[in-house]
A and B are shown apart, each in its own frame.
Chain A
Amino acid sequence: MELLLQTLINGILAAGLYALVASGLALAVGVVGIVNFAHGEFSMIGAFVSYLLFVGAGIDPILSLGLAAVVLFVVGALTYYGLIRPVLAAPELNQMLLTFGLSVALQNLALLLFGADTRVLFTPYQGATLALGGVSFGLPPFAAFVLSVGLLVGLYAFLGRTRLGFAVRAVAQNRLAPGLLGIETQRIYLLAFGLSAALAGMAGVMLSVMLYTSPTVGFAYTLKAFAIIVMAGLGNLRGVIPAAIVLALAEALVSTYVPGGGGWVEAVFFLVIFLALTWRSWRTR
């Protein structure tokens, strides 16, 4: 019983970060209509920003969070201007190839610059644990969960309560009408893509504390975020949180209860994608 409770708590804690990464991706897919294969690489850049600031200047990752958000917003905006905007009217195949190329280029550029080593940050609170009625969990995952929930609340408040947020949702719903109503579609795309990258970057900062920093750290999160948004329906922001919880709980249960579960966890997201797609495919028949 205690093991089950511990497993469920681990799953819920992981779900926060998953939801944060996947919300960013859902924003890019839903608003701009681009499947961004480089989303996880934005997280990787965020992780490196946090790592380099900590090692180089002794800045705590919590403070890097804001800076990484700004850096990645700029990276996202530049990516949109330089790469995405020219192919907005191109066939879907070309758009996907472009972001895939960006993913390959960023990952291997990091490999050339920093090598393939995994780098761990040693912060004073790294090993701290919290105990709550018999179950214990690490402070970093808990903090990442709280921060992720906070950021998601902020994102939903922005989309649900502000005029700009309304504009973003309007563009997501219809490509043409918002333009007629005086919303500058291009600027909304820019904003959404930048925001998407910023969310990924902040998730990356948390990864640098919870996990490690390496050129390939983001790739797994691209796949997990895809699993989540496929479950939620591409571009559906509201479905992201429940879908993230499902994925994280499934992974936690597999790693606890399946013998030799460590390796099989990597297959869970595929099962989720496969089941979601098969179900979707049967429903549209």
Chain B
Amino acid sequence: MILVGGVLLLALLLPGLPLGEWRAFVLDTAQFAFLISGLALAWDLLARTGQLSLAHGAFFGLGAYSAALLAPGLGTLPALLLGGAVAALFSLLLGLSTLRLQGMYFAIATLAFSEVIRTLVLKAQFTGGSIGLPVQPAFAGAYPLGGYYLAVAVLAICAMVSLLLGRSRLHYAMAATRQGEAVARVLGVSVVRVKLLAFMISAFLAGLAGGVYAMKTLFLTPYDAFGLGRAVEALVIPIFGGLYTTAGPLLGGLIVVSLETWLRLRIGEGYLVVYGLILILTILFLPKGLMGLLARRKGGRHA
């Protein structure tokens, strides 16, 4: 809680700090880190019900394209919200047909879904196809820091939703669904409805983050917006930071994105290999992530 507040406060104050010639780079990287951390928090919401989504890259991209196409007509904020809504709508359709089945089926379907959405966007006319789509900056460029603060707002919303859901009755329903569907059903949890609700909230937030991302990069291509890399980021960060927590994805996001920025400069294209390794090593040796490590330290001191 304190950690979450601290990160958000720092995010708000960052543009005012004396950063000298690094200012533009730091703000740009920070903005990217906030959006990806928001995406990671969104992914974690669904993971709390025990479902593995490999489609969060696609929801991010759907939000990005929708917001980019709608913003000139509707204005920035309505376009961002509609971008989230489009992502949520797709998650509803995907969830209705797959969330009744075992988790494996869902994971496979989400992977296939994200590949197909990319194919569709590549083939369609109004998206600019493989050439790409130029995007207006946030608020048509009226405020230089508008995009940055939108990213902070998205991160704050994702963190709030994550914290609130962690304290609600739904939290117990989600945990029960994850730990044993049959038991949850017996306890009166409407398992499919809980999973579907988590999926839609999660996709909406991912779409929201995607919309702000579009207004940050100013140019979208299917390979960038729908690449599997985004889906990988969305899940590596919560695993590394600590699943089913709010502070974990937040902390993990800042660390992993910093690492990624450095790696991109160093080794270029194959940087995802590090994500694969982080994923494997964390699951084998640190299944509760950084938060688990911190909790163990703290527990040790008390004992």
Interface of A toward B, CB cutoff 8 Å: 29, 35, 37, 83, 86-87, 90-94, 96-98, 100-109, 111-112, 116, 223, 226-227, 230, 234, 260, 263-264, 266-267, 269-270, 273-274, 277-278, 280-281, 284-285
Interface residues of B in 87-101 (CB under 8 A from A): 97-98, 100-101
Are the C-beta atoms of B272 and A277 separated by less than 8 Å?
A: no
Which residue from chain B places its CB closest to the CB of A224 in the assembled complex?
B112
Segment with Cβ contacts to A, from B78-86, B151-159, B276-284? B276-284
Query: Which of chain B's residues have a CB closer than 8 A to the CB of A83?
Result: 280, 284
CB of A113 to closest CB in B, whole Å: 8
Give the complex CA separation of A274 and B235 in angstroms: 23
Contact B115 A35 (CB under 8 A): no
Question: Which size class do B's interface residues fall under?
Answer: 35 or more
Q: What is the interface of chain B, defined by CB distance below 8 A to chain A? A: 47, 50-52, 54, 97-98, 100-105, 107-109, 111-113, 115-116, 119-120, 122-123, 178, 228, 232, 235-236, 239, 267, 269-273, 275-280, 283-284, 287
Query: Which of A92, A98, A104, A116 has the largest count of B CB atoms less than 10 A from its CB?
Result: A104
- B6 CB to nearest chain A CB (Å): 29
CB of B262, distance to nearest CB on chain A (Å): 16
Task: Please give the distance in Å from A77's CB to the nearest CB on chain B.
Answer: 17
Distance of A97 Cα from B239 Cα, bound (Å) = 9
* Chain A residues within an 8 Å CB radius of B120: 267
A237 to B216 Cα, complex, angstroms: 48
Give me 10 A-to-B residue pairs in the complex whose CB atoms sit less than 8 angstroms apart, sorted by A's number: A83-B284, A90-B283, A94-B283, A97-B279, A98-B280, A100-B235, A104-B275, A108-B272, A112-B273, A230-B105
Name the distance in Å between A165's Cβ and chain B's nearest Cβ: 25
Chain B residues with CB under 8 A of A108: 269-273, 275-276
- The SS class assigned to the B binding surface is helix
Q: B276–A106 contact, CB under 8 A?
A: yes
Which of B97, B103, B108, B280 is A93 in contact with, Cβ under 8 Å? Answer: B103
Closest to B281 in A: A101
Given contacts A97-B52, A266-B116, contact A284 B271 (CB under 8 A): no
Known A98-B280, A101-B280; 7 more pairs at CB < 8 Å: A35-B108, A37-B111, A96-B103, A104-B272, A112-B273, A223-B115, A230-B108
Cβ of B179 to closest chain A Cβ, rounded Å: 8
Min C-beta distance of B288 to chain A, whole Å: 11
Are A277 and B284 within 8 A (Cβ)?
A: no
B236 contact set on A, CB distance < 8 A: 101
Which of A83, A101, A266, A267 gathers most chain B CB within 10 Å?
A: A101
Q: Could you tell me the distance between the alpha carbons of A227 and B108 in the complex, rounded to whole angstroms?
A: 8
Q: Is the CB of B235 within 8 A of A226?
A: no
**A263 cross-chain contacts in B, Cβ below 8 A:** 119, 122-123
* Cα distance, A165 to B138, chains bound together (Å): 62
